[in-house]
Chain A
Amino acid sequence: MIERHTIQQNKTSSLSPHPAVAMRRPPSAAGGRRKAACLLSLLVLLFATPVAASEPPARVVSINLCLDQLVLALAAPGQVVAVSDMAHDPHLSAQWQAAQALPAVRVRVEEILAQRPDLVFLDAFAPSHVVGLLKRAGVRLAQFPEASTFDDGVARVRSLATALGRPEAGATLAQQMQERRAAPADGEHRPLAAVWQANGFSVGRGTLQDDLLRRAGFRNLAAERSAGPFEPLPLEALVRAAPELLILESPASDRPSLAEALMTHRAARQAFGTTRTLVMPHSLWLCAGPQNVAALDRLAAARRSLERRR
């Protein structure tokens, strides 16, 4: 089938939430740990500079799908001037409608600089040459560490709002998220669920999807099978394990691919049928943020309907 390995590697090395994100990036070079250390020191440097104390940024550019959505939700009108091209994609972005009014930039220094930004939002896995060139161009950067749990998302909302100079907007949104977060069910029956993604991959420990599944009261098949975050789950193994709920992801594009056509394999259709299958839109759980609340709602509804049928 397709480049499972590349996707997986990119997913783990760059921790991009989605293959679509990972694929458009150069694979990270060797010595990732050293790079991570560099980035960490960079982060410290960035946040050590009094971002919040200075003037709020007037021309913000975000070049990461996950940060785009938070920026679009939190920024003051006119404060953000461009977001990444993926933020415009309704398959991937929960804020695609808000993004339509803004130009799209790709992770290319020239395109970013053309927007004359005074603050650029990047994630911790942004290509180091882009980070270096932007710094040399004198642009202020705000890099955010990975967010792979619901709580990371809440924390990100707060810190991103602070960087925008709108801490009160961040506090409000974070409060709303925390009010609606599901409480982990104790002692109740926790049905087994399996996430089956394009190319037959599943998500295990250390992923946002795993965290949301646990919060919604499910056990995650891939997390129980192995320790890796993104592991292939052969169709035969999936059918054999017979989880109570099969969670597929909505298509990543209007056009078909073999990777996603696998989701409609007759064996999976017959084993789970429509009653034991949940289709989760990518946009709801690809990135940590307020859209996760809707993902939790869907998971909770699926769990209730499973319980009714037991």
Chain B
Amino acid sequence: MTPSRRWTWALVAAPVAALAMISIVVGPAGLPWGTAIRDILSGHDSVPALILLEIRLPRALLGAVVGAALGMAGAAMQGLLRNPLAEPGVLGVSACAAFGAVIAFYSGLVRLFPGALPIAAILGALLGTAALFAWAGRGATVATLLLVGVAINALAGAATAFGLALSPNPYAFYEVMFWLMGSLADRSLDHVAIALPCVALGAVPLLLMRRRLDGLSLGEETALALGIVPSAVARWIGLGTALAVGGAVAVSGVIGFVGLMAPHAIRPFVGYRPGATLIASAGAGAALTLAADIAVRLLPTGRELQLGVMTALLGAPFLGWLAVRRRSNGAAGTSWL
């Protein structure tokens, strides 16, 4: 088991590291690398050092952190709901987080207390997960869950646009694009400092629930016989998801479909136990987000494409493909297609 696990780690870490390096290299202006690295190491404040440390590095770090949060949250939700189409973006949890962030940011609350931004986003995400679990429930069919998710998503998106329209700031309304279609452009280390602790904190309950998610996948009765209380697992998973997704969305807006694609991408390698997918899916999410964020900077579009647009371009066809494959397998097939 040990060698194969070591392989899994490499499989997760290598693409993330490689893509993070590429992300740092991609930028509008060429960078004298030798000078930049020398100046950073010697603590000298030069222009190349500043660009590398304060502009390129935060973007790469955020790509990894936000992607990992979405990937892990997607895997946890798919495991808990025993539903291969579950994902924070599609089911509206991210949109609820964006709504919370918008309220905190545009009301001016962040000026009084900077922590209000992630806290409000986390509360929004909590509300979203609570509504989702309450209305759809763990035993819901794929269709019911998706319908409830679509409703939550639409409501939260509309509420976000409404909240932005209420702001007297002339720019606010046009920022609906950022909140509903996500972006990592021009983010700074300040944003890393917001997202990273929330995502790390959220990963704790998710990872602690690993074994119980495996138990739940055997069915609720078997799980109960093993001493697992499904409602308690749901609460902890809900909390972890809200922390991770809230922290990510507070700095990046809604980036959809990453949590949907990442678990499916790694299942062939790590197996079909939900608990085993969490870390690998976090890695896949990070790699996917970094790759998409590199693509939006390299594509010859007049202005930079929103990151959420890019992930939707990949993810929406994938969702359709999953649904079609599921139908041809018969809905009574395995729970993972």
Given that A236-B28, A257-B106, A257-B175 are contacting pairs, would A20 and B51 also be in contact in the complex, using a CB cutoff of 8 Å?
Answer: no
* Residue from the list B45, B50, B167, B302 in contact with A257, Cβ < 8 A: B167
- Min CB–CB distance B41 → chain A (angstroms): 17
**Which chain A residues lie closer than 8 Å to B105 at the CB level?**
256, 258
Q: Nearest chain-B residue to A242 (Cβ)?
A: B47
Looking at B77-85, B182-190, B238-246, B286-294, the stretch in contact with chain A turns out to be B182-190
- Min CB–CB distance B236 → chain A (angstroms): 33
Q: Which residues in chain B, 83-140, are within 8 Å of chain A measured between CB atoms?
A: 105-108, 110-111
- Is B170 touching A2 in the complex (CB atoms < 8 A)? no
CA distance A267 to B168 in the complex (A): 28
- Is A2 touching B178 in the complex (CB atoms < 8 A)? yes
* Residue from the list A19, A23, A239 in contact with B55, Cβ < 8 A: A239
Q: List 24 interface pairs A-B (beta carbons < 8 Å), by A numbering.
A: A1-B186, A2-B174, A2-B177, A3-B177, A5-B303, A23-B173, A24-B170, A198-B171, A237-B29, A239-B50, A252-B171, A253-B170, A255-B106, A255-B168, A255-B172, A256-B108, A256-B169, A258-B105, A259-B171, A259-B174, A260-B169, A266-B188, A267-B55, A270-B50
A-B residue pairs, 5 tightest by C-beta: A20-B170, A259-B171, A253-B169, A3-B174, A267-B54
CA distance A266 to B50 in the complex (A): 9
**Which chain A residues lie closer than 8 Å to B106 at the CB level?**
255-257
- Is B47 touching A271 in the complex (CB atoms < 8 A)? yes
Is A143 among interface residues, defined by CB-CB distance under 8 A? Answer: no
- Is B47 touching A240 in the complex (CB atoms < 8 A)? yes
- Is B188 touching A265 in the complex (CB atoms < 8 A)? yes
**Which chain A residues lie closer than 8 Å to B185 at the CB level?**
1
- Min CB–CB distance A234 → chain B (angstroms): 5
CA distance A262 to B191 in the complex (A): 12
Number of contact residues on A: which range applies?
A: 35 or more
Q: Mark B residues whose CB is within 8 Å of A.
A: 27-29, 45, 47, 50-51, 54-56, 105-108, 110-111, 167-175, 177-178, 183, 185-186, 188-190, 302-303
Q: Mark A residues whose CB is within 8 Å of B.
A: 1-7, 19-20, 23-24, 198-200, 232, 234-237, 239-240, 242, 251-260, 262, 265-267, 270-271
Q: Nearest chain-B residue to A260 (Cβ)?
A: B171
- Is B186 touching A235 in the complex (CB atoms < 8 A)? yes
- Min CB–CB distance A236 → chain B (angstroms): 5
Known contacts A200-B186, A257-B167; 10 additional CB pairs below 8 A are A1-B177, A5-B303, A6-B174, A19-B171, A239-B51, A240-B47, A257-B106, A267-B50, A267-B188, A270-B54
- Min CB–CB distance A200 → chain B (angstroms): 7
CA distance A239 to B46 in the complex (A): 10
* Residue from the list A234, A258, A271 in contact with B171, Cβ < 8 A: A258
